[in-house]
Amino acid sequence: MKCYIKGYDKSKYEADSKELFFHNLGEVTDFEVVQGQKELKEKTGWTYKDADPFDEYLIIRLADGNITSYRNSMVDLFKY
């Protein structure tokens, strides 16, 4: 599936958050949201120095085999 992601300057749950970036991700095979850096590390081997304010992480697997992750409360993922 083709997807794009929008990133915000702070949590998307705050009414005054502003869009910082927009990226076309291209072909995404799947994605999931995990709770906590422990689960993120178990699934990807990664942790964030600056943790997500709500401890939510979006893991995206791309068709080319790459994996990326974002602090979920600071991004929105859309299929198109």
How is the chain classified by DSSP, letter by letter?
-EEEEEEESS-TTSTT--EEEEEEEEEEEEEEEEESHHHHHHHHS---SS--TT-EEEEEEETTS-EEEEEGGGEEEEE-
In this prediction, residues 42-71 reach a mean pLDDT of 96
Please work out, in degrees rounded to the nearest 5, the angle formed at the alpha carbon of residue 61 by the alpha carbons of 57 and 64: 150
pLDDT at 56: 98
Q: Could you tell me the pTM of the whole model?
A: 0.93
pLDDT at 38: 96
Interval 28-52: pLDDT, tens? 999 999 999 999 999 999 999 999 9
Share of the chain above pLDDT 70, in %: 100
